[in-house]
A and B are shown apart, each in its own frame.
Chain A
Amino acid sequence: MTTNMTSRSDYALELRGLETVFDGDKGAVAAVRNVNLAIKPGEIVGLVGESGSGKSVTGLSIMGLIDRPGRVSKGEILLNGEDLRKVSAKRLRSLRGDRMAMIFQDPMMTLNPVLRIDTQMIEAITAHDPRIDKTVARNRCRDALGMVGIPDPEERLYAYPHQFSGGMRQRVAIAIAMLNNPDLIIADEPTTALDVTIQAQIIAEMQKLCKERGTALIWITHDLTVVAELTQRVYVMYAGSVVEEGPLDDVLDNPLHPYTQGLIRSIPADNDPGSRLFQIPGMTPPIDRMPKGCRFHPRCPYVQLDCLNDIELTQTSAARSVRCAHPINQGEQVS
């Protein structure tokens, strides 16, 4: 994917060699290492990983929300071709909430508990467009609430965040993120805390909105089943690096990395109740005790000696890449 960068407007967002480190007592440790990612306008991409995979840190790095002791130490973050690491803090603030927005697992990360919804929403508009007419802004807020499926949006504008249920609050957060028609939305586990019926509603809304408006959406989650429902392309992260990327169906039906395969197989299948689940032994290593070489090798069933050497993400076909010295091929696939 790094080969065909013809024009700068091809991608809504492009990450090149992103590295984010956290400074500690024993020097800097990398939470995210050499992440390359590209997403076109209107595309929905899944960023899948378990805790400690660096998926959330990647999202925060893009938004410029990494705080001390963490910092983005390497790489380029190109939003519509503009490198966010080189722009001024003021420019970054004006891009954030306008051209790119983030939705968190806990909607109260975006909502202020002591302000009414209309105050917060109108502020989100005027912050980027100070000359806008108040009534126009207000109508836009009402429409945004209606669009994410909140009943009686006109009336609900006057409510405070605590007067909404968890699912409704997440909808308000989505409405705020969508207000200025951003080019990119990063959603970090936005439905994990919600019930399945509510999750289904929100996924459906997001899908529709992004399609209609051409917004690029990065959906960060640990849940492969949600990714299967929603996304077109998927990046799998493990221990700070992308270990596999490709179109959704290819990755799910034909994983190349043993970790991806393990993740898919460890999800209970509908057809075989009561059977032993496939399990990946061990656990994700802590950030300051990463194994040498391929970071998955201590848990990998196919490990070989050369897995102790460092390994880069390599392209295997036009749309797919994998970071593995011995990627799984058809013959080894056990279904």
Chain B
Amino acid sequence: MISNSEKQEAQVKASPDQQAPLLEIDHVTRRFERKPDFAAKLAARLGAPINRRTVHAVDDASFAIHQREVVGLVGESGCGKSTLGRIVAGIDDPTEGRILYRGQDVAHASGEATRKFHLKIQMIFQDPLDSLNPRYRIGKSVSEAARYHKVVPEEQMAEHIEKVLLQCGVDPTTQNRFPHQFSGGQRQRIGIARALALRPDLVVCDEAVASLDVSIQAQIINLFMDLRDEYDLAYLFVSHDIGVVRHISDRVVVMYLGRIVEQGTTAELFAKPNHPYTQALLSEVPSLKRRHSSFHTIKGEIPSPLKPPSGCHFHPRCPHAMERCKLERPMLKAVASGHMSACHLNDEG
């Protein structure tokens, strides 16, 4: 086991390609299937119609995150961005595809090696109160995993935890309090400290500021950026808040109903959104600069992920939909350097 992980580390160090991404998501698909239980199987034997419903929460998604890079993952509810975030964080497993951490497949490996990789990818959750065990004092919440995985020797543990808490703006003397004794912003800082205590390379933030007040949001976003400078962290920033994503991200990935429809550098994507969905999404982001505006909104509801439309999932709401869009799934194609979009319009010229 030890020799194995040493070998892997050696490989990483010896890797001549410095541009190798920190994390690569390679054709990842996640299907949720309701497996028939015993009663359903019995009913099926007796002739009842089988009702097997499959949801493609994530459908053939590929992108990469480099060291120190912030990748924003945006989309509306049901687009699969949270599922993808959970897969990256190792809470959920992909049905198909690979997750490569520094070139090593993490998703399908097992044992000690996987655990080492998983520690390097940590997650911050949307609901800071629910993400902390209500029966743990926060000192224990933050130190439990660091202690179990022996991130630092036991005699340095107290110092390590104290340092991490301070860095996240939590008073270390409050370590023996319970989560409910803190405010929302403080709880989120504790959650960040817990992740940071494991010295991760990549932090997945799943709507990490969505439940916080505006003035607290700014504090936490600043904290994220400070920590990135301090530890060379990379972030996968999953959010529906496009203003925040635009502010913090180097690159943005846009998802719609389980599929990536567009990705590119933040500047490029916001300046020249290519996919009609991205265009609509960006035009409807409220901003302080747009006042008393009358919207020209995109029509229609987000379809149910249980019954996604055929071809391009966006075609029923798309102002430019053609016959081809109903039949054929558009693939991601480069529209500019580092900018990809999945839309048939790009083939029409």
Is A161 interfacial (CB-CB < 8 Å)?
Answer: no
Q: How far is the CA of A274 from the CA of B280 in the complex (A)?
A: 24
Q: Which residues of B272-318 are within 8 A (CB) of A?
A: 280-281, 284-295, 297-298, 301-302
Q: How far is the CA of A165 from the CA of B246 in the complex (A)?
A: 28
Contacting residues, chain A, for B291 (C-beta < 8 A): 228-229, 248-249, 252
In the complex, are the beta carbons of B288 and A207 less than 8 A apart? Answer: no
Contacting residues, chain B, for A275 (C-beta < 8 A): 247
In the complex, are the beta carbons of B301 and A50 less than 8 A apart? Answer: no
Contact A224-B214, Cβ < 8 Å, known A195-B302, A197-B280, A200-B284: yes
Q: List 10 A-B pairs, minimum CB-CB distance, nearest first.
A: A268-B247, A266-B218, A195-B76, A225-B286, A50-B213, A200-B284, A280-B215, A277-B218, A279-B218, A204-B295
Q: How far is the CA of A312 from the CA of B125 in the complex (A)?
A: 40
Contacts A228-B287, A273-B267 known; 6 new A-B pairs at CB < 8 A:
A197-B302, A203-B286, A230-B292, A252-B291, A279-B218, A280-B215
Tally chain A residues at the interface, Cβ within 8 Å: 48
Q: What are 16 A-B contacts defined by CB distance under 8 Å? A: A51-B213, A168-B301, A197-B281, A197-B284, A200-B295, A228-B290, A267-B243, A268-B221, A268-B244, A268-B247, A277-B218, A277-B221, A278-B218, A279-B215, A280-B215, A281-B219
In the complex, are the beta carbons of A196 and B247 less than 8 A apart? Answer: no
Contacting residues, chain B, for A280 (C-beta < 8 A): 215, 218-219
A170 CB to nearest chain B CB (Å): 12
How many B residues touch the partner, as a band? 35 or more
Q: How far is the CA of A199 from the CA of B280 in the complex (A)?
A: 13
A253 CB to nearest chain B CB (Å): 9
In the complex, are the beta carbons of A266 and B290 less than 8 A apart? Answer: no
In the complex, are the beta carbons of A264 and B288 less than 8 A apart? Answer: yes
Contacting residues, chain B, for A146 (C-beta < 8 A): none
In the complex, are the beta carbons of B288 and A195 less than 8 A apart? Answer: no
Contact A228-B286, Cβ < 8 Å, known A195-B302, A283-B185: yes
Is A243 interfacial (CB-CB < 8 Å)?
Answer: no
**Closest partner residue, chain B, to A259 (CB atom):** B215
Contacting residues, chain A, for B77 (C-beta < 8 A): 166, 195
**Closest partner residue, chain B, to A50 (CB atom):** B213
Contacting residues, chain B, for A279 (C-beta < 8 A): 215, 218-219, 222
Is B242 interfacial (CB-CB < 8 Å)?
Answer: yes
